Amino acid sequence: MIGLEHYLIVSALLFSLGMMGVILRRNLIVIYMGLELMLNAANLALVAFSRFNNSMDGQVMVFFVITVAAAEVAVGLALIVALYRKRQSTEVEDLTSLKL
Amino acid sequence: MEALLFYIFAALTLICALLVVANPFTRNPVTSAMFLVCTIISMAGLFVLLHAFFLAAVQVMVYAGAVIVLFLFVIMLLDIPSVEQRSFNLLGVGMGGLGLLAVGGMVIQTMLRSGIGQGKTPQLEGATKELGVTLFTEYVLAFEIMGVLLLVGMMGVILLSKKDLK
């Protein structure tokens, strides 16, 4: 029998993997994919809570999260393109102009 | 049957997510994007197992259909020259991995200790009709704000993509 905790464990592992991408990778686009994985992990936990607590609110929340994530990806990728025009690079190591 | 499907989809989700962030064979962002598609679609399978059919469809359409296309479009537009393998700080990678294991272990440990899923049975039948009714009665204000947010996001993207950014 698959219970709530099974889904939550998958969600926690997925969140850790996304965070690993954000911390370990140096390409901005792949860092963005890590962020997407973390958002998806939260979505999975919300849908699981919604089903096991017999409430529709979690699913509505997931719907909103997906919408915001789509808007966020569009803006973020536009920022990356603008950055690439200025610096010719998408590696975080080359973006150190704020460093003292 | 349901348990078997859960294990298949969960394993697929986690393996593909690992290949998104740390692929041992290639560092090509296009490969990462393709494995992200695989992750998203297996997650849609998990949503179906949770009887959230509408969200599974939205997941496939919005993420696999729109977000990944945006990612691939930008990767190919920038035409990033194949990144030479930069030197690794092995100590940093090791410590980062260790810290992440600690975070994941801590979350799972807390979850199991608190007995959060004890005695809970799956109840909600996530029918699309009920979702729509909730969305357009209780959450109608949030829905409208979401429309404004999408408009603002679209205008921001157009402004950011102009050649002479003032």
Closest CA to B45 of A47, A5, A64: A47
pLDDT for A43-71, tens place per residue?
Answer: 999 999 988 888 888 899 999 999 999 99
Q: Do B50 and A7 touch (CB under 8 A)?
A: yes
Strand partners of residue A27: A91
Q: What is the mean pLDDT of residues B31-50?
A: 93
Quick one: pLDDT at residue B87?
Answer: 61
Specify the CATH number for B1-80; select among 3.20.20.60, 2.30.29.30, 1.10.10.10, 1.20.120.1200. Answer: 1.20.120.1200
Element spanning B100, H or E: helix B90-114
Q: How confident is the model at residue B23 (pLDDT cuts 50, 70, 90)?
A: confident
Return contacts of B125-130, CB within 8 angstroms, 24+ apart: B125/B51, B126/A50, B126/A51, B126/A56, B126/A59, B126/B50, B126/B51, B126/B52, B126/B53, B126/B54, B126/B55, B128/B53, B128/B54, B130/A56
pLDDT for B8-17, tens place per residue?
Answer: 999 999 999 9
Q: Which residue has the higher pLDDT, A74 or B166?
A: A74
Average pLDDT, chain A: 89
Q: Do A27 and B47 touch (CB under 8 A)?
A: no
Q: Do A12 and B62 touch (CB under 8 A)?
A: no
Domain ranges of chain B: 1-80, 127-166
Q: Do A52 and B117 touch (CB under 8 A)?
A: yes
Tell me: pLDDT of B155 over 90: yes
Domain ranges of chain A: 4-94
Cα of B161 to nearest chain A Cα, Å:
6
Closest residue in B to A31 (Cα–Cα) = B21
Tell me: pLDDT of B122 over 70: yes
| Beta carbon pairs, A and B, within 8 Å | 222
Cα of A87 to nearest chain B Cα, Å:
12
Quick one: pLDDT at residue B82?
Answer: 59
Query: What is the ipTM, given to two decimal places?
Result: 0.91
So what CATH class is A4-94? mainly alpha
Quick one: pLDDT at residue A91?
Answer: 83
A55 CB-contact burial (10 Å; exposed 0-12 / middle 13-18 / buried 19+):
middle
Asked if residues A74 and B144 have their Cβ atoms less than 8 Å apart, the reply is no
- pTM for the model: 0.89
Closest residue in B to A22 (Cα–Cα) = B21
pLDDT for B59-90, tens place per residue?
Answer: 999 988 889 999 999 988 887 765 556 666 77
Closest residue in B to A91 (Cα–Cα) = B83
pLDDT for B44-60, tens place per residue?
Answer: 999 999 988 999 999 99
Q: What is the mean pLDDT of residues A21-32?
A: 87
For residue A79, list chain B residues with Cβ-Cβ distance below 8 A: 160
